[in-house]
Structure 1
């Protein structure tokens, strides 16, 4: 005897039953694991007392301190400086981006940008090319730039909160 091919309705019913089974398994697994996490889930405890879930007081947890999830950067236009060492001139091309703590620090840097660039140029011009080519020299340069940029910008007495000085380009020729 030949078997009949399943009809469209039969295939649709099988697919529907499979989807229902998957949903039921998912809900069951979720409830099982949530019951395992705590002895009595909050929604069940409040339902047993006849109170709604919306009326539940906040748990006794310390408040979460908001931390800037996204970093705030203040890019500076690239700098080109002539460096002299032992009578020999070399050119330093450096791109710098500052990582700041908050938008207030970024706007302060933008507001005082001519003074920011002047401080950076003065610090860069004092460098020796052979030293800043080393890892140790670059770390020292980062420390000098960070200290120089964290000083107050007259007449403002506030200082920008600079977390890091990042080199986005660094070429000595």
Structure 2
């Protein structure tokens, strides 16, 4: 007869003990989450966080824009064989009332700068939105140049077209 063989069994924890440990871990995590939520919602009231947020200064309202409307201009375009014209009207956005007053005072010179800048352009260079944006930048640069050696640049921040007709 063969000697009886013994089967080695791994020692497993008692089923009642592991389930109790798991329950205690879940309860501890739940209590920690509840304590964190309570601290998040209640602590600002005790430390003045909610009151200071309500009393915080509101951001300043954006300043009212200042525009100078220019009378429409009509200029000859460089065309091969036939006459082509550009009729353009625009508004200049300026930084302050002083710049607006300077533009009104020097309007004849500014219109002359515009006529020189716009005349004899090929009509094909004024077709796409990119071309018009580039032209607006050129106009802003030309008009922002100082009017006299003693004066600073005008402070024109943007040029908006309200009439743009190529004929």
Q: Which residue of 1 aligns with 2:112?
A: 118
Match of 1:39 among 22, 40, 45: 45
Aligned ranges 1:68-147 → 2 under 5 Å: 69-147=63-141
CA distance in 1, matches of 2:43, 2:68: 44
CA contact (8 A) 2:92 2:159 kept: yes
Q: Does 1:171 align with 2:157?
A: no
Alignment map for 1:57-76 (pairs within 5 Å): 69-76=63-70
Distance 1:154 1:170, change over 3 A: same
Q: Structure 2 vs 1, CA of residues 65 and 100 (structure 1 numbering), >3 Å: closer, same or farther?
A: farther
Q: Which whole-Å CA distance do the structure 2 matches of 1:136 and 1:172 have between them? A: 16
Give the total of aligned pairs: 124
Structure 2: 5+ residue stretches without partners: 1-41, 52-56
How big is the shift at 1:156?
3.7
Q: CA deviation at 1:67?
A: 6.8
TM-score (norm 2): 0.63
- What is the TM-score with the length of structure 1 in the denominator? 0.61
